[in-house]
Structure 1
Amino acid sequence: MRRAFVIVLDACGVGALPDAAAYGDSPDANTLAHVAELAGGLYLPTLGALGLGSIEPIRGVARAPAPVLHGRLAPLGPGKESVTGHWEMMGVVPKAPLPTYPEGFPAELVRALERATGRRFCCNRPYSGTQVLEDYGPHHLRTGELILYTSADSVLQIAAHHDVLSEPELQRVCAAARAVMSGEHAVGRVIARPFTGTPGAFVRTAGRHDYALEPPGRSYLQELRDAGVPVHAVGKIRDLFAGVGIDVAHRGATNAQALQSTEALIGELGSGLVFTNLVDTDQLFGHRHDVAGFAAALAEIDTALGRWLERLGDEDLLILTADHGVDPLSGHTDHTREHALLLARFRGAGGRRHDGLLADVGASVLRWLAGTDAPALPGRSFV
């Protein structure tokens, strides 16, 4: 009756990957180190005791005298986004980069979206998710045109005010857009972005919904399910895998919700995998280069982890990792191509270092919970 908890600290990168420059990122990119620097140091006693400061020098986080297994993980495939990062954790490596649209979506594609959704669009260019509301929100309210935008990632995002389109209606529009975005235009995610408020004070709601591309290969999640191991998804995990390999989805649109859902599962679940995404370090603070908010979110996670550790036993595996970076010293506000942190607590872990692939997460979970390996999938178990 074993359990595993994989907790993704979204965007908490720990150093540039060798090919970071090819993605427009600095070879010195390091999200956690630079957040700590700009914040004047971080106070993270639980993460520190687990060994966060033993992975990379992080101001305010000393090297742990008795760390758990720790290190850095890297993807095998291209990309620096949530979809591919999470896929790779579970052994799915995209063969080619997902399509991006630095000049906006082609006119013929926009026409196809308008035919499929019955709506007209404005903007159609890469944009900050908060700034686009300030710049296009008033026009959207006047005309009813939905705000269509993208980013450096493989995403199509549609924003709509509650007074123009209800959240269920916006979700129907995005589901129709997802069907259009196929073939050469198969973006990683179509994202519904509802908002409310008035010009100058627009606010995105927690009603975001992601329509992800199905993973292009078999994952460790499916291996677990075939072995009879239940898979619980907290936060946007279900959306990122388009539901493939997921048994039960739990609330987690914010860190507060996701931490609460995970804590409840620690108390209730007898066996299985809990796969949690903690989104605020990316969505609320990372893309805005809000260092104070990022540091506060880490402190909130650290406090919750302290409670969890008191309740986890010898048959529990806890893995903390990330999907990419979002370095506050970057010249842009998009994701950065970085290594992911790795902290893994389990019986027999010791304090060894493990630097490997993101897929090692899935391989380790399968070994821990099912006692088997999946030779056809990438990754090497560290348990």
Structure 2
Amino acid sequence: MAHPERRRLCRFARRRAGVALSAPGSPLAAVGAVARLLNSSAGTEATLAAVAETLRQALPADSVTLWLRMPGTVAFGAVRAPPLPGHAPAVDRLDARPADGESLRASVEHGGVRFGILEARLPAEPAQVEMLAVAADLLALFLASLELTGDLAGEVAAQWREIEAHRRFTSLVIDSLPVGLYVVDRDYRVQIWNRKRETGTQGLRRDQVMGRPVYEVLTRQPADQLRAEFDRVFDTGEIQQSELEVTRGGETRYFRLSKIPMRLDGDEISHVITIGEDVSEWRGIQGRIMQSEKLAAIGQLAAGIMHEINNPLATISACVAAIGGDRSAPPDEYLEIIDREVGRCSRIVDGLLDFSRPKATSKGPVALNRLVEETLFLLKHHQRFKRLEV
């Protein structure tokens, strides 16, 4: 498609001439031909060479030379019709070029910027001078349009490079995170999958998951449950946290999952960021701390428990003495008392041992009444809870 600025060149030429460009072979027809060339889709070098040749034939002139500033330099190069063998030498200053009586010159400038000069070797006549001036104005607009297009293209390229640099930086930051991270859109399709996710327990490469529905990628959870978790974030806009237990190769790992709403444009939630953090070591440390607290509690309970055991031991001792002192008395009654008190001691010791042992975390239904009774049984041996009644 022709550049809008170039289409304006034809209208400019018509206004400058003030008459229709209809007479074949006339100077105005030649200016029209120049305007059409500048409005074509040919390359810049070919277009300028064609313009020079068209002006040489229309003037007519022995030669037409267009001196233009060369890109990236202060020198001026030549586009000549007919072309000279080899390359025309460049000049540093157009004003330093000698003028002769058989050359016409028109400055090619626009908006205070001089792009070069248009030079033709022929006797000066009013019509030819006017044609050369109009052609120079058209060339100036054409070259200004090219320069503007080049500036815009350079600016767009610079902005694109900056955007790419930011994208690479952001991608590097996401890949450097020590947590697994992925992002899904409203259609539950994976849009981001960082390196930690690639090396995680499932070990799925980025090119295997990008654009796929997340419930087809993460199959440890039922698809309906996974969709419901994302829907809750999309609907409420609240951060959702949960824990996931994964067993692989006989090893159990624990992960804390955080689903975070993301708003790309406006107030509507467009994506959900999911961060998975391996908290297995933290769980282990937490378990060791709890065990230490249990041992400290056992130390505090020890005195009360020893007193509690002494009572049944005293009863047992009295029963044994009674049996030994009066052999005629039936021992069944005393044996029943001894058995009851031994059972009492065993329950106290077993409860203490059960409390002190480290236990693996497991989830399941429990009898709350029994749990409360066992807790109260241990607490009643502590000095602070002796008068506790429930």
Specify if TM > 0.5: no
TM tier, smaller:
under 0.3
Structure with bigger helix share is 2
Structure 1 or 2, whichever has the larger Rg, is 2
Give the TM-score, by structure 2 length: 0.16
Structure with bigger strand share is 1
Give the TM-score, by structure 1 length: 0.17
